[in-house]
Chain A
Amino acid sequence: MTQTDIATWSGEIYQKLLRHRVRQVAYVPDAGHLHLIERCIESREMVSVPLTTEEEGVALLAGAWLGGDRGVLLMQSSGVGNCLNMLSLPRVCEMPLVMLVTMRGECGEFNPWQIPMGRNTEKLLTTAGVLTFPVDESGRLEEVVDSAMRKAFEGPSAVAVLISQRILGVKNFGK
């Protein structure tokens, strides 16, 4: 997967966010979201909100929904654990939540510290009542993000698209 490929699917996801009238984009950065975050920051249709921890984003987007805005939360899988208690908010209130999660800790992971969260990301989200949509082919990403957002905003439901390291490439710290 080259930077050009990542820029291509990031552009496709950005178009889907526009199509679904997403206005607030909350994020804790990840290298896999680099291009998408840049597109959202430049966007005149969106407000980009960098967070200090991912759970802030869950609460932020609940407030956004109360006020009539749609949002998405961008993060890497290690941030999912930070969100667990806060996920009770969209669940109890039946509010939409869209999480786009770039995976770490999968096959080929260089950093063993990423494995405990990475290996349990989907299980934890499912336990917390979030519908998961794993994707491991870049060609399917646009379609899956589209159907996940439809599910979230029409449900309303909490959903997470899990973007595999197969799509992102493996970070190896130059080794």
Chain B
Amino acid sequence: MDSERSKHYPLYRRQVVARLLRDRGDMLVVAGLGASAWDITAAGDDPLNFPLWGAMGGAVPMGLGLALSQPGRRVLVVTGDGEMLMGLGSLATVALQSPANLGIVVLDNEHYGETGMQSTHTAGNADLAAMAIAAGFPVCDTVWDDAGLEAALPLIRNGKAPVFLNIKIRAETPPLVLPPKQGVVLKNRFRLALLGAEE
């Protein structure tokens, strides 16, 4: 376990997420609980964002259900290493369905950010991109720097198969930018923006 190394990674989470969501078009975005949810909100709150406040381990399967229901839309899951580690089996579930419109981005700072910055397993030898490959993802990569991020963007926007990117980011605690907390509000605004008024 090396709890120090991620303090020197060059990519900053807020800049990465702003880059991912710039020119997002009509992309649907699910964020795992904690810092990832604050990151997508800092990039610009949007009715087509679904930031989770709980349900740890559920971001990827939630993105899968959404992607299967909306095959014509891009779906992006943005989550953290701790949240991803709790739902690793869901990578095999996604790979089996293989929705072409789903991208998964893990913001991997090798720490649990909401609970006191304890190290996660990725500060040791756990390699999330290798796990995604082993689960059956056809397109996987680990991104370490700006050049890698720029190269990966077209896969997120226009990939023809489910994409898994583990982005190594600096361990830091940017200011909180909180989305609405009420689940009913988040659900209603998302469905209204995507599906229109209920019949």
Contacts and interface: CB of A to CB of B under 8 A. Distances in A.
Interface in A4-32: 23-24
A50 B93 CA distance: 7
A67 B58 contact: no
B70 A62 contact: no
5 contacts: A63-B65, A67-B28, A67-B67, A69-B69, A93-B183
B187 A63 contact: no
Contact of B65 (A64, A86, A93): A64
B186 interface: yes
A170 interface: no
A69 B191 CA distance: 11
B55 A67 contact: no
Given A64-B68, A68-B194, A92-B183, 17 more contacts: A24-B68, A47-B97, A51-B61, A59-B58, A59-B87, A60-B62, A62-B58, A62-B65, A63-B63, A63-B65, A63-B67, A66-B66, A86-B55, A89-B55, A92-B53, A92-B54, A93-B184
A174 to B, nearest CB: 31
A60 B194 contact: no
Interface of B: 28, 30, 50, 52-70, 87, 89-90, 92-93, 96-97, 183-184, 186-187, 190-191, 194-195
A49 B68 CA distance: 10
A55 interface: yes
Contacts of B68: 24, 47, 49, 64, 67, 69
Contact of B89 (A52, A62, A65): A52
A38 interface: no
Contacts of A47: 68, 97
A53 B57 CA distance: 11
A19 B68 CA distance: 20
B65 A24 contact: yes
B65 A53 contact: no
Contacts of B92: 52
Nearest to B90: A56
Best-surrounded residue of A24, A47, A59 (most CB of chain B within 10 A) = A59
B93 A59 contact: no
Contacts of A100: none
Nearest to B97: A49
A49 B64 contact: yes
A89 B55 CA distance: 6
A72 to B, nearest CB: 12
Nearest to B30: A63
Given A23-B69, A24-B69, A66 B54 contact: no
Closest 7 CB pairs of A and B: A63-B65, A67-B69, A52-B89, A59-B58, A93-B183, A69-B69, A92-B183
B54 A59 contact: no
B54 A89 contact: yes
Given A88-B54, A93-B184, A66 B61 contact: no
Contacts of A50: 93, 96
A63 to B, nearest CB: 3
A85 interface: yes
Interface in A31-76: 47, 49-53, 55-69, 71
B194 A52 contact: no
Best-surrounded residue of A50, A51, A52, A60 (most CB of chain B within 10 A) = A60
